[in-house]
């Protein structure tokens, strides 16, 4: 005997100001308690899907604990955006956004999500959400301009290369020099403009840039997936 069931609509609204408009997600409660990882498909810039993803994120953290949000974005963003979502002061956070990470937050949806997570982290400090980005450096020009060059400028007085038209072949040619500078930075444990910009972090970014070069210059799928799993 086949039993009939009534499908209930899911809300298409974004999350509200106190993270409470999630009653239509109650069917996720048992799933959330039984699992440690929830996989959500790509949104592909559809606002309704993005809002649905955001409400799922905060619902799961309301009824349980899902402290890490892993997204398909380049690794170098990770530390910079985690710093933003944990800044206590609103003015300080918005200044940091406009001065430092503006180029790392490419869409309004991404910015809205970062601001919501920051709000959540302030209101629920014992249930903070952390970000993780697992992709190669597709925007390698910005990575070199905003992450790598400012760091090495502290130990290297050479003229900075022009990055706007930097080719993937140029990137491959620059990497050996960057790794040499990293060895110098490690000797003094050089810290960049923020406490998270350590030799270890810069080393990880350079490794990701190396995988980016190999992906675009040799075999895209192999080197991209290999680095994404390693990150």
CA distance 24 to 41: 19
Q: What was the pLDDT predicted at 55?
A: 97
Q: Are 51 and 60 in contact (CB under 8 A)?
A: no
Q: What was the pLDDT predicted at 156?
A: 79
CA distance 206 to 74: 12
CA distance 79 to 85: 10
CA distance 87 to 24: 32
Q: What was the pLDDT predicted at 189?
A: 96
Q: What was the pLDDT predicted at 162?
A: 86
Q: What was the pLDDT predicted at 2?
A: 57
CA distance 176 to 179: 5
Q: Are 68 and 133 in contact (CB under 8 A)?
A: no
Q: Are 162 and 123 in contact (CB under 8 A)?
A: no
Q: Are 96 and 90 in contact (CB under 8 A)?
A: no
pTM (predicted TM-score): 0.90
- Per-position pLDDT tens, the chain of length 231: 555 566 778 888 999 999 999 999 999 999 999 999 999 888 777 889 999 999 999 999 999 999 999 999 999 999 999 999 999 999 999 999 999 999 999 899 999 999 999 999 999 999 999 999 999 999 999 999 999 999 999 987 777 888 889 999 999 999 999 999 999 999 999 999 999 999 999 999 999 999 999 999 999 989 888 866 555
């Amino acid at each position: 005997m086949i039993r009939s069931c009534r499908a209930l609509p899911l809300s298409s609204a974004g999350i509200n100001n106190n993270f409470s408009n999630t009653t239509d997600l109650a069917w996720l409660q048992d799933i959330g308690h039984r699992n440690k990882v929830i996989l959500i498909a790509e949104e592909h810039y559809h606002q309704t899907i993005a809002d649905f993803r955001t409400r799922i994120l905060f619902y799961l953290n309301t009824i349980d604990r899902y402290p890490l949000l892993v997204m398909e974005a380049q690794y170098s963003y990770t530390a910079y955006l985690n710093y933003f979502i944990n800044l206590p002061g609103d003015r300080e956070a918005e200044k940091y956004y406009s001065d430092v990470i503006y180029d790392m937050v490419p869409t309004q949806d991404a910015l809205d999500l970062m601001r919501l997570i920051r709000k959540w982290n302030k209101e629920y400090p014992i249930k903070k959400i952390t970000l993780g980005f697992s992709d190669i450096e597709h925007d390698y020009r910005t990575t070199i301009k905003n992450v790598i060059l400012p760091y090495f400028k502290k130990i290297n007085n050479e003229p900075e290369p022009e990055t706007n038209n930097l080719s993937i072949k140029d990137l491959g040619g620059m990497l050996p020099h960057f790794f040499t500078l990293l060895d110098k930075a490690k000797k003094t444990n050089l810290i960049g403009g923020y406490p998270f910009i350590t030799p270890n972090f810069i080393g990880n970014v350079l490794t990701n840039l190396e995988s980016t070069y190999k992906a675009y210059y040799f075999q895209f799928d192999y080197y991209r997936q290999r680095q994404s799993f390693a990150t």
